[in-house]
């Protein structure tokens, strides 16, 4: 099901033995465009400490519910590696985190989640090297880890301007992800402040050509006029496949889903 990152903000994260905090933001991989971690604010329980929660830990997030259920204990979270929110998340910190929870790496393998397409795995069927049993390389400086430049904050990217083939129109206001594989499918772009009669529109991730992290822009080959005429996005309504097909048909694009017959059948209705 397609969900909004904005709707995750403030959701209570419920562990096996009690609540651990609320979702503050998400970190995503800007190469695969997938959510890698939720940043959870623990409040008074851990003296306002922020902790990472991987989708590997998430059991379910029911639509309409403000609770994210995770397969963790409060003690596990308490003892997890400390996150320095004033620095980018480094690969070294990720290694420590994944090793602590015995999770496989997502960056080694042909699929979105390493050897798997989804953040779900059988710990008895994971190769030992994927669980980081081997020691870290001796040349890694654990005191000053280099930042993993592929992890980005949704809070950071929110507000980025959308650059089209013929100028700017709108800014990123939200992110739409698939709650099965945690992959981003769309950026929500708000055009209200850019032209009279503006609206919120969806821009598919595979229509994005470039993200300039220094200029805070997202670029697409689409034109301003085309985006102005595109189907509006209503955040009060679930995003169904029919809407997606209509959207892709408007732009004369094929969807990220592989069932072409479904695309043609729904588009013809």
Q: Could you tell me if 88 and 150 are in contact, meaning their C-beta atoms sit under 8 angstroms apart?
A: no
> Where in the chain do CATH 2.30.30.240 domains reside?
2-152
Q: What Rg do the C-alpha atoms of the chain give, in angstroms?
A: 20
Dump pLDDT digits (tens) for 30-72: 999 999 999 999 998 898 899 999 999 998 777 777 999 999 9
84 pLDDT higher than 50: yes
Q: What is the CATH number of domain 158-267?
A: 3.90.50.10
Instruction: Work out the pLDDT band at 148, boundaries 50, 70, 90.
Output: low
If you average pLDDT over residues 238-258, what whole number do you get? 92
Q: Could you tell me if 64 and 220 are in contact, meaning their C-beta atoms sit under 8 angstroms apart?
A: no
CA neighbor of 91 nearest in space, from 148, 49, 41: 148
Q: Could you tell me if 21 and 11 are in contact, meaning their C-beta atoms sit under 8 angstroms apart?
A: no
> Where in the chain do CATH 3.90.50.10 domains reside?
158-267
Please identify, in words, the CATH class of the domain defined by 2-152: mainly beta
């Amino acid at each position: 099901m397609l969900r909004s990152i904005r709707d995750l903000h403030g959701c209570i994260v419920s562990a096996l033995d009690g609540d651990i905090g609320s979702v503050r933001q998400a970190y995503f991989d800007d190469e695969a465009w997938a959510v890698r971690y939720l940043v959870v604010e623990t409040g008074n329980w851990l003296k306002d400490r922020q902790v990472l929660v991987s989708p590997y830990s998430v059991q379910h997030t029911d639509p309409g519910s403000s609770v994210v259920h995770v397969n963790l204990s409060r003690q596990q979270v308490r003892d997890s590696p400390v996150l320095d929110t004033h620095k980018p998340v480094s690969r070294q910190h990720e290694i420590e985190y994944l090793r602590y929870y015995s999770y496989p790496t997502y960056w080694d393998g042909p699929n979105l989640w390493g050897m798997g397409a989804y953040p779900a795995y059988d710990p008895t069927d994971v190769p030992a090297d994927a669980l980081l049993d081997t020691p870290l390389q001796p040349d890694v400086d654990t005191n000053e880890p280099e930042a993993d430049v592929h992890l980005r904050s949704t809070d950071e990217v929110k507000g980025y301007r959308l650059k089209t083939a013929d100028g700017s129109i709108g800014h990123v206001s939200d992110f739409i992800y698939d709650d099965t594989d945690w992959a981003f499918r769309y950026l929500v772009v708000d055009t209200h402040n850019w032209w009279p009669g503006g609206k919120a529109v969806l821009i598919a991730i595979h229509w994005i050509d470039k993200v300039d992290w220094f200029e805070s822009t997202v670029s697409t080959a689409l034109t301003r006029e085309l985006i102005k005429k595109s189907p509006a996005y209503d955040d009060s309504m679930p995003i169904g496949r029919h809407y997606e097909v209509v959207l892709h048909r408007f732009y004369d694009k094929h969807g990220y889903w592989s069932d072409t017959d479904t695309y043609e059948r729904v588009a013809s209705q």
